[in-house]
Structure 1
Amino acid sequence: MARIFGLFRSVVFLAWLSAALASMAITASIWALQMTSTVAAMSAKAVSSAVAHRKQLAKAVAKTKAKARLRRAVVAVPFAGLGAIAYFEEQDFQEWLEENPEGTRKQYACEVASLTAEVVDEVLQELPELMRPTPETVLGYMPECE
């Protein structure tokens, strides 16, 4: 009798263990499917967002290139070039003024001069050493700014 009771106990334990493992496997499978679905949805959303951002970026770059091309074309014509330089500089000032509402033309001129001097210095540093002026020489032409 004890042997039958021990065998019965083992069978019940194995049945319980099998049921527990099967339910855990089913639960894990359902969870994995849900996660796969979530990842697929998030990936699709990221791809569509990236495509939209890439299109916006490409459009902005193309627009900037078109503006630069137009500026070069207009500046190439001497008489129209002087007027174009003044017009484009005024446009740049107005854009700068939107970002700096308390700014003055003198502050704008100082900022532009500073950036221009840095760029000129970088370009000149690419020249052979014998022909290259020192950075202090270039930056010495800076206007008096606050």
Structure 2
Amino acid sequence: MLNPFKLIRRTIFLVWLCIGLASGAATLAAWAFSLSTQVATLTANAASTAIRHRKQITKAVAKAKAKGRVRRVLVAVPAVGTVAAFAFEAQDYYAWEAENPDGTAADYACEVAELSAEVVDEVLQELPEMTRPSPDAVLAMMPNCEAAN
């Protein structure tokens, strides 16, 4: 026969074990719920930031396109266009010079020629075919930077 003290002792142990496991499960469930709400909040914030960033980029691109459009219109008017073209180029040069204080005008011309050579085909394709010069003719007018280095 079973000793009644052993039975009571085992019963108390099992009750304490069940209470401990139940409280541990409740604690873990609360922790999981807390983490789930944090993940949901962070996801919503990330989505909101992405949308806001996308709007800022779209606005910046639209502003750059508008600026380019205004430049093209000003350059299209002969007298104003010449002055505007020189003013735009001077503004770009001064901005470049601020970023490159040790650079010379020749360095600027070479950098502009390098960048222009990369996009010359795209720009020429936008021109009407009757007025479009050949890419080689345009590239021949650019400074020879390899000889300067």
User: What TM-score does the superposition give when structure 1 sets the normalisation length?
Assistant: 0.75
1:23 alignment partner in structure 2: 23
- C-alpha contact 2:109 2:143 (8 A) present in aligned 1: no
1:45 alignment partner in structure 2: 45
Percent identity for Structure 1 against Structure 2: 50
Distance 1:123 1:69 in 2: 14
1:102 alignment partner in structure 2: 102
**Equivalent runs, 1:1-146 vs 2, <5 Å:** 2-120=2-120, 138=139, 142-143=143-144, 144-146=147-149
Deviation of the 1:139 alpha carbon: 7.7
User: What TM-score does the superposition give when structure 2 sets the normalisation length?
Assistant: 0.74
Query: Where does structure 1 lack aligned partners over 5 or more consecutive residues?
Result: 125-131
Post-superposition Cα deviations, 1:22-74, rounded to whole Å, max 9, x if no partner, equal 11111111111221232233223323322332232122111101111111111
- C-alpha contact 2:113 2:142 (8 A) present in aligned 1: no
Distance 1:64 1:141 in 2: 25
Count of residues in correspondence between the two structures: 136
Moved more, 26-35 or 44-53: 44-53
- C-alpha contact 1:97 1:103 (8 A) present in aligned 2: yes
Distance 2:57 2:41 in 1: 24
RMSD, aligned CA:
2.8
Query: Where does structure 2 lack aligned partners over 5 or more consecutive residues?
Result: 125-133
- C-alpha contact 1:117 1:139 (8 A) present in aligned 2: no
- The change in CA–CA distance for 1:121 and 1:68 in structure 2 (over 3 A counts) is closer
Deviation of the 1:3 alpha carbon: 4.5
